[in-house]
């Protein structure tokens, strides 16, 4: 029997980016807010001090900051006909844990999606006809537009101090920025980061090929910055330890460096860490959430009643929470019924590595930041005519090499022995003169009828709850898209002067052991129709109106960009709807 | 009716005389003045166990070189607090160091500073303290070890170090200067930490505010000396620091973080400016040692360590990031004659204070696990003698000593 705690106005499940944003906004509205976080409290100077953080073995190889799969994991399979097995060591993605969530370990690439991304189905159908799309592709419009979200993108960028060069200011194209981006109401808060040599060389080659390269928008700051909350960030030192690492140089935007210092001073905010929420409890009608149940590290069960529940965990855990709480109809791909778990997506990542003459090129590749890079957007979204190519979607490509940490930066050209003196010599000769962009091709991943999340029939967590089962594979559309993008990317690397270019296409089947990105999306998607979405356009549950579900689980499909900017913009958008509309008249904000 | 009322008044007067004074609970201006003096005096710091949620209820152990002293309950609880004290008893405690039972207080209670307040000031303070929530909490005063367990020994101490008497304004100075001097010498009791002490714990008056050892830190020189004091600070620098805990040069940490958080950040701008005006006239002249040449071996070693370990935040130019990472080039703390605080911060790390105006509270990591005593000494010697600064070499044995002393402290 759970022990009951005093009722709060709001309970937030998960204190990452979206949980912190909602906590800040709703405490500002005068509400009494408690956040429940499965992992530990984390603070920049004490948990990832710059004196110990640059430890590739501890953080990158041994996954220090991430959820331990022995606490909970997912099962995985490619196809409906297969039996899924539990993931016992993270590979393709890295589920976060602890205060700050993925905002601690991200690279801080802070993109906006294209205006056409939000009306994808309508846009592609109008341009190419419905028959152009694969039959089992289940892409949808979002129910919000770029213009709806623009002020909220802006708020997030000014919270973070994002460094970049605007490409489109109020409809006027700007030299040096991304000419394809949606119109911005004002410039980035800080100028773009300086770019290292290989990144600069990529931009030069891209320009010569007729593209318009621009610096990747970065939450690692080019200069010191004070955000609108009065929290200060410092300039990035280009140490090259961003992704998978925390930053205590105060130069990577994270909840710790932008929001938490203000949030924890508020008397109407409380946090319980090491508290794992196991379900959301609804009343007898099933239409209203009344509390959440969580378990502390002693195994004690607690019930936290609240008027409003904000589900702000990592995307896959959001979907799992809905299924365990029996909120919304579970998706069934065979009968094509239900919604929870539907339109699960990831990202289509590949790269091309360039080997240069070490007598002529010294890139000092360890000088970098997580979101350093020069990119081109000619092949993203629908920025080009897909007609001749037979696929839809795309991505940005760029020299976005985020460092040259020693363990994983021992690339050698094809034909080099795998060990011995010749290998050592090749490593030495190539370390400074290899371009290794990591996620150089950052492609979209559209939704399909047979890519989804549901509850595993066999495997359970320590509470006896079924694990989340991922059924995911790459479809021909994405494979074609990736081949096209990787070839285009490799042309630029070649034009930089590489002696050898090694392309690493992304191919089917989807491989869960090889790292791509942590951009798992969908499963609790937003939309305009309760038959095909879990949430309305304000991220409010269609079924339980005092429940809002934040995060990338709301993406109907994934675009060719890193998701965090859009995740955060949606959080500000939902917070505004709660503040200005829901609190005045609690209930559905959109009629079903 | 008139007769009945007269009897009532008489009874009331008799009642007051027999028991405690009962300040007028609606004397708004008096209570407000008292509240402000309590903030300036930071009474709540010593008289509250941090995190207890019972302000002024005492029980916090105050560390002194002679042993721990437990601060008493000063809430208006009649039994365990000061609710039953008369005005005269309260005044005697604050301004003469005399306990209610006639024994002497230990000067951990800074009566030698509070004596600069007027009787009215002290009564205002009392009027305010009468309004805080009474807490029933017995606090047992710990006795210091011999010979300090003899409270009568305090008579000798008082004869040596205590001059009773309220602040006398200097007519040759501005009223701003006099206000600053009153706050520093009186309620603010800055000298309690910042003036060096004799072996008996009395102020070395000739070295007024020139810095002192306190609880494993060195409370820096706050005179107008431009090398080791605040001589290079503008009035704005000073107000920023006291109000927000941060300024373009440095940040408050250690005991001063608490002083900023509980006291100075709640003072008025005018008072902080007055304090600055006064401090900028307090001389603290100390001869500067010769700057070490940059090619001295210890300087070259220090430069290499600085570049590797420190420059990411504090910059190759030593100037850091304003209000975020202190400028070790401009900070007089780094050049203090006594390097205790710098050593401690390098060994153990430090967290700066969070205030409403500067919520970030950046922290410095610990390097004690990573750098040897020689390396800590070298990098500090380098910082102290670069960017135009000069200060004595930090001997490795000072780091060894600080490391040992640190091991015995929770923080």
Task: Give pLDDT tens digits for B39-54.
Answer: 999 999 999 999 999 9
Name which of A500, A52, A116, A115 is nearest A245 in CA terms: A52
When pLDDT is cut at 50, 70 and 90, the band that residue B149 belongs to is confident
Q: Which two tokens stand for residue A117?
A: 């991304």
Percent of chain B scoring above 70 in pLDDT:
93
- What is residue A70's predicted lDDT score, i.e. its pLDDT? 94
Q: Is the pTM of this model over 0.80?
A: yes
| More confident site: B20 or A309 | A309
Q: Which domains does chain B have, with CATH numbers?
A: 21-157 (1.10.760), 175-279 (1.10.760), 297-407 (1.10.760.10)
The answer to whether residues A118 and A59 touch, using CB atoms and an 8 Å cutoff, is no
Task: With a cut of 50, say whether residue B1 has pLDDT above it.
Answer: no
β partners of residue A225: A233
Chain B touched by A228 (CB under 8 Å): no
Chain B touched by A52 (CB under 8 Å): yes
- What is residue B411's predicted lDDT score, i.e. its pLDDT? 64
Q: For residue A466, what is the enclosing H or E element?
A: strand A466-471
List of residues 6+ apart from A533 with CB closer than 8 A: A140, A143, A339, A525, A526, A527, A542, A556
Cβ contacts of A46 on chain B, cutoff 8 Å: 351, 363
**Do the chains contact at B362 and A250, CB–CB below 8 Å?**
yes
The answer to whether residues B389 and B372 touch, using CB atoms and an 8 Å cutoff, is no
The answer to whether residues A549 and A574 touch, using CB atoms and an 8 Å cutoff, is no
Task: With a cut of 80, say whether residue B407 has pLDDT above it.
Answer: no
Residue A190 to residue B65: CA distance in whole angstroms: 51
CA distances from A291 to A24, A98, A543, B57 (A): 21, 22, 16, 38
- What is residue B10's predicted lDDT score, i.e. its pLDDT? 40
Q: Which two tokens stand for residue A80?
A: 């409906």
Domain of A459: which CATH number? 3.50.50.60
Name which of B149, B358, B139 is nearest B265 in CA terms: B358
Q: Which two tokens stand for residue B375?
A: 């390396």
B158-179: b or e for each residue (b if 16 or more CB lie within 10 Å)?
Answer: beebbeeebbeeeeeeeebbbb
Domain count, chain A: 1
Return the residue of B nearest to A48 by Cα: B365
Residue A270 lies in a domain: yes
How many CA atoms are closer than 13 Å to the CA of A317, on its beta-carbon side? 22
List of residues 6+ apart from A351 with CB closer than 8 A: A436, A437, A438, A439, A440, A441, A486, A489, A504
Provide mean pLDDT across the span B269-279.
Answer: 98
Residue B354 to residue B360: CA distance in whole angstroms: 6
Task: With a cut of 90, say whether residue B285 has pLDDT above it.
Answer: no
Active site residue A152: no
- What is residue B166's predicted lDDT score, i.e. its pLDDT? 96
Of A45, A51, A235, Cβ closest to residue B362: A45
Question: Would you call the peptide bond into A509 cis, given omega within 30 degrees of 0 as the criterion?
Answer: yes
Residue A422 to residue B268: CA distance in whole angstroms: 72
Phi, psi of A165 (to 5 degrees): -115, 120
Task: With a cut of 50, say whether residue B4 has pLDDT above it.
Answer: no
Task: With a cut of 70, say whether residue B410 has pLDDT above it.
Answer: no
Listed as ranges, residues in chain A with pLDDT below 50 are none
Return the residue of B nearest to A263 by Cα: B359
Residue B82 to residue B74: CA distance in whole angstroms: 5
The answer to whether residues A75 and A87 touch, using CB atoms and an 8 Å cutoff, is yes
Q: For residue A215, what is the enclosing H or E element?
A: strand A214-215
- What is residue B3's predicted lDDT score, i.e. its pLDDT? 43
Provide the residue count of chain B.
411
Residue A204 lies in a domain: yes
Residue B231 to residue A117: CA distance in whole angstroms: 60
When pLDDT is cut at 50, 70 and 90, the band that residue B289 belongs to is confident
So what's the ipTM on this one?
0.90
Task: With a cut of 50, say whether residue B94 has pLDDT above it.
Answer: yes
When pLDDT is cut at 50, 70 and 90, the band that residue B146 belongs to is confident
Average pLDDT, chain B: 91
Task: With a cut of 60, say whether residue B14 has pLDDT above it.
Answer: no
**Do the chains contact at B366 and A229, CB–CB below 8 Å?**
no
Q: Which two tokens stand for residue A92?
A: 């393709």
- What is residue B21's predicted lDDT score, i.e. its pLDDT? 54
Residue A86 lies in a domain: no
- What is residue B22's predicted lDDT score, i.e. its pLDDT? 63
- What is residue B148's predicted lDDT score, i.e. its pLDDT? 73
The answer to whether residues A329 and A409 touch, using CB atoms and an 8 Å cutoff, is no
Containing structural domain, residue A205: 3-77+93-184+194-582
Of B312, B356, B360, Cβ closest to residue A50: B312
Task: With a cut of 60, say whether residue B109 has pLDDT above it.
Answer: yes
Chain B touched by A359 (CB under 8 Å): no
Task: With a cut of 80, say whether residue B406 has pLDDT above it.
Answer: no
- What is residue B64's predicted lDDT score, i.e. its pLDDT? 86
Task: With a cut of 50, say whether residue B19 has pLDDT above it.
Answer: no
Of A45, A230, A239, Cβ closest to residue B351: A45
Residue A564 to residue A552: CA distance in whole angstroms: 8
- What angle, 0 to 180 degrees and rounded to 10, lies between the N-to-C axes of helices B373-384 and B396-407? 120
């Amino acid at each position: 029997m759970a022990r009951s705690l005093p009722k709060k106005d709001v309970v937030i499940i998960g204190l990452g980016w979206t949980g912190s944003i909602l906590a800040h906004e709703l405490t500002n509205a005068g509400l009494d807010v408690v956040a429940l976080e499965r992992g530990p409290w984390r603070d920049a100077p004490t948990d990832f001090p710059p004196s110990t953080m640059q430890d590739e073995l501890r953080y990158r190889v041994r996954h220090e900051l991430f959820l331990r799969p022995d606490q909970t994991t997912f099962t995985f399979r490619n196809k409906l006909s297969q039996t899924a097995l539990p993931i016992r060591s993270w590979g393709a993605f890295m589920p976060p844990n602890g205060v700050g969530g993925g905002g601690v370990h991200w690279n801080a690439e802070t993109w906006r999606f294209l205006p056409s991304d939000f009306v994808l189905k309508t846009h592609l159908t109008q341009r190419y006809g419905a028959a152009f799309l694969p039959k089992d592709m289940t892409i949808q419009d979002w129910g919000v537009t770029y213009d709806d979200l623009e002020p909220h993108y802006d708020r997030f960028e000014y919270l973070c101090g994002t460094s970049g060069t605007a490409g489109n200011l109020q409809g006027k194209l700007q030299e040096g920025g991304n000419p394809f981006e949606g119109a911005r109401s004002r410039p980035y808060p800080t100028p773009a980061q300086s770019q290292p040599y290989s990144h600069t060389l990529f931009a030069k080659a891209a320009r010569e090929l007729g593209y318009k390269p621009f610096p990747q928008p970065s939450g690692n700051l080019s200069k010191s910055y004070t955000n609108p909350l009065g929290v200060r960030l410092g300039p990035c030192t280009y140490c090259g330890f961003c992704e998978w690492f925390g930053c205590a140089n105060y130069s990577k935007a994270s909840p710790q460096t932008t929001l938490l210092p203000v949030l924890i001073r508020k008397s109407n905010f409380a946090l319980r860490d090491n508290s794992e929420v196991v379900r959301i409890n609804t009343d007898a009608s099933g239409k209203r959430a009344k509390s959440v149940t969580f378990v502390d590290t002693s195994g004690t069960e607690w019930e936290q009643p609240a008027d409003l529940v904000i589900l702000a965990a990592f995307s896959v855990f959001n979907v799992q929470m809905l299924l365990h709480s029996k909120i919304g109809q579970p998706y069934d791909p065979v009968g094509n019924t239900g919604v929870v778990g539907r339109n699960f997506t990831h990202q289509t990542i590949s790269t091309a590595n360039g080997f240069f003459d070490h007598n002529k090129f010294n890139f000092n590749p360890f000088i970098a930041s997580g979101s350093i890079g020069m990119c081109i957007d000619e092949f993203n979204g629908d920025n080009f005519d897909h007609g001749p190519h037979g696929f839809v979607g795309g991505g940005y490509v760029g020299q976005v090499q985020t460092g040259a940490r020693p363990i994983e930066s021992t690339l050698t050209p094809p034909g080099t022995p795998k060990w011995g003196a010749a290998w050592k010599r090749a490593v030495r000769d190539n370390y400074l003169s290899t371009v290794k962009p990591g996620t150089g091709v950052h492609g979209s991943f559209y939704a399909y009828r047979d890519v989804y999340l549901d509850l595993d029939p066999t495997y359970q967590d320590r509470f006896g709850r079924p694990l989340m089962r991922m059924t995911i594979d790459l479809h021909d559309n994405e494979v074609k898209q990736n081949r096209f993008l990787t070839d285009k990317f490799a042309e630029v690397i070649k034009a930089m002067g590489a002696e050898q270019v090694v392309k690493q296409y992304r191919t089917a089947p989807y491989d869960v052991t090889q790292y791509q990105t942590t951009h798992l999306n969908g499963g609790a998607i937003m939309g305009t129709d309760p038959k095909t979405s879990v949430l309305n356009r304000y991220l409010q549950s269609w079924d339980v109106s005092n429940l809002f579900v934040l995060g990338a689980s709301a993406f109907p499909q994934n675009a060719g960009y890193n998701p965090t900017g859009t995740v955060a913009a949606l959080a500000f958008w939902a917070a505004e709807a709660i503040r200005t509309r829901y609190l005045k008249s609690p209930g559905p904000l959109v009629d079903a | 009716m008139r007769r009945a009322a007269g009897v009532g008044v008489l009874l009331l007067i008799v009642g007051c005389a027999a028991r405690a004074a009962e300040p007028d609970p609606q004397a708004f201006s008096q209570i407000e003045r008292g509240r402000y003096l309590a903030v300036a005096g930071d009474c709540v710091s010593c008289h509250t166990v941090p995190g207890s949620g019972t302000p002024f209820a005492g029980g916090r152990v105050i560390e002194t070189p002679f042993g721990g002293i437990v601060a008493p309950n000063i809430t208006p609880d009649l039994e365990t607090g000061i609710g039953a004290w008369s005005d005269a008893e309260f005044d005697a405690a604050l301004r003469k160091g005399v306990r209610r039972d006639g024994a002497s207080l230990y000067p951990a209670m800074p009566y030698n500073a509070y004596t600069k307040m007027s009787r009215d000031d002290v009564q205002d303070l009392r009027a305010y303290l009468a309004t805080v929530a009474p807490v029933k909490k017995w606090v047992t005063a710990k006795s210091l070890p011999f010979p300090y367990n003899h409270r009568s020994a305090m008579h000798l101490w008082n004869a040596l170090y205590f001059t009773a008497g309220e602040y006398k304004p200097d007519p040759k100075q501005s009223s701003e200067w006099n206000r600053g001097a009153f706050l520093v010498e009186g309620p603010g009791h800055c000298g309690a930490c910042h003036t060096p002490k004799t072996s008996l714990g009395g102020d070395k008056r000739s070295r007024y505010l020139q810095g002192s050892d306190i609880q494993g830190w060195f409370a820096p020189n706050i005179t107008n000396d431009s090398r080791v004091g605040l001589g290079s600070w503008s009035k704005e620098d000073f107000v920023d620091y006291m109000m927000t805990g941060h300024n373009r040069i440095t940040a408050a940490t250690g005991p001063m973080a608490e002083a900023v958080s509980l006291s100075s950040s709640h003072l008025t701008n005018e008072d902080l400016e007055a304090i600055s005006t006064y401090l900028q006239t307090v001389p603290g002249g100390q001869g500067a040692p010769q700057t070490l040449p940059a090619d001295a071996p210890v300087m070259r070693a220090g430069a290499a360590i600085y570049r590797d370990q420190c420059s990411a935040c504090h910059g190759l130019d030593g100037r850091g990031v304003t209000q975020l990472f202190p400028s070790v080039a401009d900070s007089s703390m780094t050049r203090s004659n006594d390097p205790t605080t710098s050593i401690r911060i390098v060994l153990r790390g430090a967290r700066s204070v969070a205030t409403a105006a500067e919520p970030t509270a950046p922290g410095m990591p610990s390097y004690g696990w990573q750098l040897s005593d020689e390396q800590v000494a070298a990098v500090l010697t380098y910082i102290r003698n670069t960017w135009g600064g000069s200060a004595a070499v930090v001997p490795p044995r000072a780091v060894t000593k600080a490391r040992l002393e640190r091991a015995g402290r929770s923080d």
